A = this chain, B = another copy of it.
Amino acid sequence: MSQTLDTVFAALADPTRRAILAMLLEDDMAVTDVAHPFAMSLAAISKHLQVLAEAGLISQEKRGRVKWCKLEPDALREASVWMQGFGQMDSLDLDAFERFLAVEIGLEAEAEIPGG
């Protein structure tokens, strides 16, 4: 889940990938057609699509020699939920926060919250 947030946000950080997602809103598309409007090679777009697929933001299905790309909004929704929930923690449970840190960044148990 933490790694999911890593990969989802990293995928969204690139404008080409955000543009691809916007294109896939309209309809499923073949890799070649996704690549068409962009001023870069097919191989580069293929890599971008892999990044999006690993983040769970799209799925790909091969039919014949054509690989179809489909938007998968669930991962996007997960990240969005994270961001929404973020502003709504009112006061932080420090014990819970230590566990959160431990999960988020693999911190040892000695993690101690300054000022706490």
Contacts and interface: CB of A to CB of B under 8 A. Distances in A.
A108 interface: yes
A13 B9 contact: yes
Interface in A87-116: 87, 89, 91-92, 97, 100-101, 104-105, 107-108, 111-116
- Secondary structure at the A interface, as helix, strand, loop or mixed, is helix
Interface of A: 2, 5-6, 9-10, 12-16, 18-19, 21-23, 25-27, 29, 32-34, 36-39, 73, 76-77, 79-80, 83-84, 86-87, 89, 91-92, 97, 100-101, 104-105, 107-108, 111-116
Given A76-B83, A115-B29, A15 B89 contact: no
Contact of A113 (B15, B23, B89): B23
A67 to B, nearest CB: 14
